[in-house]
Structure 1
């Protein structure tokens, strides 16, 4: 008999959405697999233990939603009453999604669903297994195709062509073509070249010949020449009409405009191609720093290393880890921004301060590539309302892009000023430039692959996508110009501008100043043994007394014995997660006042909010910034 873990693995790895519900009117969600979480954009901890109808309520502004809920409840009732599975036809069931501003909006979704009883040893129904498949895209595609066909915009852009053709396809008579043929009262000779582009005629002629020879239905998607001279796509279908002896005497056919559908398919293919290229780039970029880290680790395992070699090796490891961290931060950042999960701190800012901070940030790269950088600031304050950190990121990303795509010893320039009632930042270079067709999509995700196929310039091509998203979040616009390959590029970011008499907000220092920490008793809890041991070694090197545990229950027992002053807790722990462990530590008199620091790979804003709500004092993302951790410990001491 297979162990339960096999069934659990099969349940979670299923490509089709599944969840288990309690056999009660509330239909509590007992388990849910990854496919359903992805389909509904939820997390497992947000659903478990909740009623299905609370987690996915009816839309109060959509009367049909209550009907859908009633149908689903009726299906569950049939399963419980009959003890047999129940299949629901495709249902329209909108689900609530949180928007960028925190408001909840319902998104139209279509699902096919199947419910089945799960019996216990006593023969009673212990739960309902509910299987759902999101068929929204299929329904939308079918709807779009129907609308396209019903608009009668096939070959003429004015309507669908319905026609009759004689047995050997030499004479054509229009039945309903909205004026496609000049003479609809009598047949005319059918000339393929009148309707089909030259390079498509051989394929269409072969398909016609096959239909005539076999007497089967003719059906083909092909390009057409419209009456207005433009090219489009049509789905042509003709049915043979036979006499009493089974001989084909004519064909009745129709051609539907599928130009929009074909354009959408091509766009999807292009998107898939670029995503594949991006994944290949990501693998390449992550392998690059792994190679020197691996070599450094192997070197450190050898005996008789002198201090200088150890220092140089550790610097290589730190540098490469920093590079990998930056790549991961870029991925998370673009995900947060493009999904509208970033909250901006909107305060009045002088654009000159933003530019100076960005230039300072990029100075090491500019100097390393021996570029000259001209900075032209407006003589008077140019005030915008925005998030200084994010606007500095915008300008720094534009400068990084210019520095990377300009050969060594090049010229970069940054200018700012008022333009058309707004504040504009221009970043230009005399670098490699780009082809005209790329300027229109250079701000798209993954566009970098087309500028550097040999991967010599590195990066993931996310910087400019972040620029566009962040500028648009500030109510601004971005643009790009290039005279062509080898002729440099010019990027422009424009923001709404305030009057000059609005005072900008002063600088604030969010991070505590690092101090030499006094010795503390610290308990590190992480189920990753290597990560826990290395962090403990670093803290011991700073003079702290460090204890290590790899499970939550063992950590609770150790906390009672040793009473640490500081807890560094991983969130993804076995037995209970780090948030629950934090709650229990806060509930115990001996540890309620201890300093709790979350050390985790979960770095989204929503993750941080949940972690802090569980009782943590600080939230650090792996790999840990040791300077920040030491500053936190110094504050605790």
Structure 2
């Protein structure tokens, strides 16, 4: 187009020419066709991916709907210039001629369509000529607008004049609107893609962690690489988690509040918290979160900055500042203290509160190095004090060796310390200690003290913690040493002044000007009352008031000479005339020069009245005569004691006197032993163990030492000597020697050993007897159980079964008591301590003894604490204590009586009381009621039964738990027994495993079982019970037969007696477990022995369970139930 085209050529509002309406039917068909075109256009635009697709679809719709010959789309660029974007039927020359022109101004707020039906008639000028030259006779311009702004135009051309009606214009505008909308949509999509690409580029390139979070579920939707690296997860691993999964449990509540506020108010937040890495380590991060709205949707984006180093640096600075403040406070506190007790208390309190530990204390170690004494400690709220005396080896011999070597001992968890035994762990459990740090103080190669902190829960002690404990310990010991030194100085000063005040020697002090400054009482009494007093007056004046002129001058010259030369002046006894008293007195003098506190010299004068020595010498001579006479009488007595060896030793243990009894007993003459050490009469092994030196040390400490040991005569024969070593002391209490008195007690010793051997054999016999009594109990028990399975309703049979079962239980308890007494007297009982609630012990004991009480028609009243009472004890043994006391009460109470059982707490003790309304205890018997084989007197009218060992067993078990038991009774009014046990701290998170399913009747699975026992009745009765329970059972009677039966029968379970002929039960178990074909058999040991060592041996051999004869069938059922539960 060569003509200009603009608003002047086509003024706004130019009349539009519309052709006449077509007949109605033609119009309807035309409208329907255009509607179909618009439907198709909408579908194509919906699927359009690019501008070309939009233009193609719009061109097609425009040409198809208007049936025009030619068309073009012109789009406006950023400079408001039109460019042909697409055309149909128009030449490129024409397109270039019109693309720079528009019928509307770029800023026209409301451009309207312009239609020219006939260029020959309607439009003059260049535009008409150019358009006609192109072959166009009619043209319409349709504006393209988007968001109220002109973006381009449609050109619709016809080769012949054309009348544009309203439907044509409306159709063209509809296409134009859809074109503009689609172009805008594609533009927005392109911008969105650009924005997303930029965002993702920034998301992945930025050096801090970033994440997109689902608003409601808080699941991670998108994470970047820096966040993955920070936390150690892969991207997939993080996307499978929620944001809360990454936050440290202690920080989740604080973060949840901030997150909820973010969603409620869209207010961004920044919070410092800890995330948990994949390896479980915590890392400090700064989380900044914001909400971004995407239409109706909300997205939460978070940035995660790694601030771990900064946070740790801040924490380190804070800890350093806290430690510095602690050190300053500790130094200020200790500097002001001089009382050792206050020093220990304050230092322990400061360190305990600073480290947040349970306890902190200073433990003094006795001279032998095995006993620790804690007199005061810091105790955190809720913990109990550790004040007391302790045997240090009970807490770990190897740990004690390290302390003796001067090594600091730190333990993060005593339960994980491999060097501690079960008993040593129990010692820590009693004190509620799980972690501790101990710093030793070693002086001259000896452990003298330990400074410790401990916690009731495991704690990983840092090097800084250990260093601070060590520093506090050292500062405490320095302060203690300073305080003790100060006290010693004060004590020495007090002692010096006391000495001056009480010494019989006169002491006076003059300064450099010979002015009298100090006098002790003796000096004041010697000088006498001088008018105006003597202190502060000149020596010359005083001496002239006491002595005549020449003697006074002589004394003053002596003072001056010593003051000037420093040479002492000594004057022996001399009679002097005192003019003030008009009598002669005898004095001895000594003058010494000393330096006074002002830096100058002074003179101290010591003098004594020797006039009394004459009388003293006379008294000494009289005393010597009396001493000689006394020594003669003593010598006669010592030499006459021929049945006793009396030996005098000097302070070093060398023999100084040897009486005839010693010669008769040991074979040495006095000339052979005088001057030799007493160790020559000790055995070589005792000398190697330094027994002579230890005996002397005990005598020095206690004044006497008992001497009971084997000794050696001159001829090498040995005898058992019994006697004492006593310390002899001078008048000043210093030891001057020892006297040993000894007698030959060999015959009595050998008799005692024979008696002990007889007693040991008796105990072994009782133990074997009790063990053998167990064997028949097992088949009797099983037989009763078989009879109980008989559905017979015969009341006589039922009563008979009940009696047999009750008596078997009673016999079993008697055998148990007999065995326990044997074990205790032979020292083979070891407690299996654990932290338990005494209420559970009471409950189990009552259930155990209830049938016996009900059988005698007693009423049992229980008053048990509502709160848990925790003790560190063997639950089985304490249950045995309560059962025995209740059984004793039932036995000695007439039928229909009342028994009261109580449990309460008193301070740090658990108190169990058993009271009955029985016959009571005779006063003569009451002190011996806990002795072995002691019973109330039997009568023809009533025999109470039993062996007389129940209460003896009770007392021993209570004592083994560190408790006490007392008995109170009045004849005819019943008895009361009171047990007191030490309590321990409450248990935290005690795990109580659920009881395993143990009912054979509930087991739907039929099992193959092998019973092995050389007691045929026991084996057959157990087999019958198991068969009655629905299982297939085989029986073997010795070890070899058991192995053959196992190979042939292939059982699922086997009950094996330990004491078998051919092969014992241990060897049978080992061979079964070693055979691959039989290793799957579950084994239960059946034995008359049930101590810890017995159970350990059975576990080591391969047994899963250890049943003690007579094993109740409930225990058998429980074992089978556990096996079935494992298999399901």
- State TM-score, norm by structure 1: 0.50
Which of structures 1 and 2 has the bigger CA Rg?
2
Task: Name the one with the larger helix percent.
Answer: 2
- State TM-score, norm by structure 2: 0.30
